[in-house]
Amino acid sequence: MGAIRRIKMKRRTRDIDQIHADLRSPKHLAEHTDAKPAEDLPGLGQWYCVECAKWFESENSMEQHTRGKPHKRRLRALKEEPYSQKEADAAVGLRTDNGTRKPSKLTTIEEQAATLNLDLNSDG
């Protein structure tokens, strides 16, 4: 089981919401790309597909990738905006906006007595 999990984690790429953050913020992308030294990356880190979060050995392999089906599928998936936490909560049925609260129908004995003009402190 350990070997299978290791292989799956090795092939794992960045999730769609992380790539959306990369596309929106150059700072976020720079944090990801600067995490590894260029010597350890394929092609010394010169060719990077932002949409797929993959490094390539040469410009030719990068061009072939951009013409391929997996890249086009990823582009199609990135056209949709990712769901926010608010939308996910709404889908489950959790509400964050409960509106204005109505006054409670239950009132205290003193308030009931005041509306009936009764004096609770008097003996008689």
% residues pLDDT > 70 (the chain) = 66
pTM above 0.95, yes or no: no
Q: Please, are residues 13 and 52 in contact by the beta-carbon 8 Å criterion? A: yes
pLDDT exceeds cutoff 90 at 69 = yes
**Residues near 13 by beta carbon (within 8 Å), at least 6 away in sequence:** 52, 53, 54
CA–CA separation, 66 and 48 (whole Å): 11
In whole angstroms, give the CA distance from residue 20 to residue 29: 10
The mean per-residue pLDDT over the stretch 111-118 comes to 68
Alpha-carbon distances, residue 33 vs 10, 19, 47 (angstroms): 17, 12, 11
Which DSSP state fits 34?
T
Q: Residue 66: which pLDDT band, with cuts at 50, 70 and 90?
A: very high
Query: What is the 8-class DSSP label of residue 101?
Result: P
